[in-house]
Structure 1
Amino acid sequence: MPSDVEYSPVGEGLGMRDYWLFVWLRRAAVIAAHVTGLGLTLIISLLSRPGTSLFSWHPVCMSVAYCLCMTEGILLFSAEGSPFCFKSRKCKVRLHWVCQALVLIAAATGLGFMFASKNVSELPHLVSWHSWLGISTLAATVLQAACGICLIFPKLLCLSSSPLRLKLYHATCGLLVYLLATVTVVSAMFSDWFQATVKGVAWWGFLLLPLFPALVVMNQITNAYLPRKKITS
């Protein structure tokens, strides 16, 4: 395996007409992912009616953390459809730090509200798949943030891997964390609270919404970091 990873080009091998169609489809998908993440966050925040109880802040904080901040923190590196496409790479990296810091703050706050709500109601902790997935997602997010710090200060931490390889590891782990967060969000829709709040066809719509940004994020990362291989017939 080579020491450096070559980025796979977008639209390689396509004709000019097909290439522009491909670019516009990718741009539309990225814009739709932005809208989906923001819309899902707003709708969940409205459904939870923040302030009515301690628990009501939990869905708000977690949707802000993972549906909005984490999604935007990854999509801002997209070349198509990102509102930050005109910014320099250095500026995008700094915005990525800010978004990921907000993810940790919002997620920790949401966990605190859930913990307090359970204690007030005298209910047991960690009794559902969603709760276990949530704890796992938060732990993975903290580890991924630590990986990001290693990427920022490789010489200070005396890391032997090349910066390009560290970026590959960071992006791959970030994709896994995002997919785990998506599974956690989807599992929340099977909770008693959500099923009592949203019913019928709307529930199925909500179930599918988090999957679309996940597909866009997965496509973005694999296109940017997948090793380039020549295919011969």
Structure 2
Amino acid sequence: MPSDVEYSPVGEGLGMRDYWLYVWLRRAAVIAAHVTGMGLTLIITLLSRPGTSLFSWHPVCMSFAYCLCMTEGVLLFSAEGSPFCFKSRKGKVRLHWFCQALVLIAAAAGLGFMVASKNLSELPHLLSWHSVLGVCTLAATALQAACGLCVIFPQLLRLSSTPLRLKLYHATCGLVVYLLATVTVVSAMFSDWFQATVKGTAWWAFLLLPLFPALVVMNQITNSYLPRKKITR
């Protein structure tokens, strides 16, 4: 990394009183993001009535993968409001990998249920924006998992980049995947199934809910990994 670049500390330039207010607001935002991810997963599961059809398992698996597991896998690195109290970074990294493995497994299962449902109903595939975005999200998730392997095994894979730069690339790509997954979840709310299930004011609330964890995740990653130039005095 260039010598004039450093990672930005949280709350730099704030007074002590303003700093504590900033910390508590961040903590409340992170906790709200946890609650939103878990709440979305639970409500979508109840609305889907899993077991009533092959399709009913698709939103269950996908919400579990992206609204819950991926969100928790990122937020556990947050210093404010994380329910996981690992003191060592190694413990957090292992739990992160476990969450991301669950994302891959649940997303693959969700894809399988959707394909089986379409084939059973003899309906064509990839006709909606949601389905196209979903395929892109799954492909990006798989690539991001491969990128994570590069971070853990740089010497085994004989990579020339430094570990710090690999972590920066991994975090940046992870942010892109999370935002892509958020867009995919939002597009699902324009599907015929969801609009027939949720209507009125509740639909607008569902439309906005996935955006909040995305903002918190984006803020966390940029604060942790976005390089800033040093201020010369």
Question: TM-score per shorter chain, which class?
Answer: over 0.9
Show CA shifts across 1:59-95 (max 9, x none): 0000000000000000000000001244310000000
Q: Count residues with an aligned counterpart.
A: 233
Quickly say closer, same or farther: Cα 1:74–1:122, change in 2 above 3 A: same
Q: Which amino acid aligns with 1:81?
A: G
Question: Is 1:106 aligned to 2:77, yes or no?
Answer: no
Question: Is 1:28 aligned to 2:37, yes or no?
Answer: no
Question: Is 1:2 aligned to 2:8, yes or no?
Answer: no
Q: 3-state DSSP class of the match of 2:160?
A: coil
Q: Is the 8 A contact 1:5 1:225 kept in 2?
A: no
Q: 3-state DSSP class of the match of 1:190?
A: coil
Distance 1:44 1:22 in 2: 33
Report the alpha carbon displacement of residue 41 of structure 1 after superposing the two structures with TM.
0.2
Runs of 4+ aligned residues of structure 1 deviating over 6 Å after TM superposition are none
Report the alpha carbon displacement of residue 4 of structure 1 after superposing the two structures with TM.
9.1
Show CA shifts across 1:46-71 (max 9, x none): 00000000000000000000000000
Distance 2:101 2:3 in 1: 31
Q: Is the 8 A contact 2:38 2:67 kept in 1?
A: yes
Distance 2:161 2:140 in 1: 22
RMSD across aligned positions (CA): 1.4
Distance 2:90 2:6 in 1: 20
Q: 3-state DSSP class of the match of 2:6?
A: coil
Distance 2:5 2:15 in 1: 26
Distance 1:70 1:129 in 2: 22
Q: How does 1:202-217 map to 2 (within 5 A)?
A: 202-217=202-217
Q: Which amino acid aligns with 1:162?
A: T
Distance 2:85 2:160 in 1: 32
Quickly say closer, same or farther: Cα 1:53–1:89, change in 2 above 3 A: same
Question: Is 1:70 aligned to 2:70, yes or no?
Answer: yes
Q: Which amino acid aligns with 2:65?
A: A
Corresponding residue of 2:196: 196
Distance 1:187 1:231 in 2: 42
Report the alpha carbon displacement of residue 230 of structure 1 after superposing the two structures with TM.
3.8
TM-score (norm 2): 0.97
Corresponding residue of 1:226: 226
Show CA shifts across 1:90-135 (max 9, x none): 0000000000000000000000000000000000011100000000
Q: Is the 8 A contact 1:137 1:177 kept in 2?
A: yes
Distance 1:232 1:129 in 2: 48
Give 5+ residue unaligned stretches, structure 1: none
Quickly say closer, same or farther: Cα 1:3–1:180, change in 2 above 3 A: farther
Q: Which amino acid aligns with 1:198?
A: V
Distance 1:123 1:153 in 2: 43
Report the alpha carbon displacement of residue 229 of structure 1 after superposing the two structures with TM.
1.9
Q: How does 1:1-233 map to 2 (within 5 A)?
A: 2=2, 6-230=6-230
Report the alpha carbon displacement of residue 7 of structure 1 after superposing the two structures with TM.
1.6
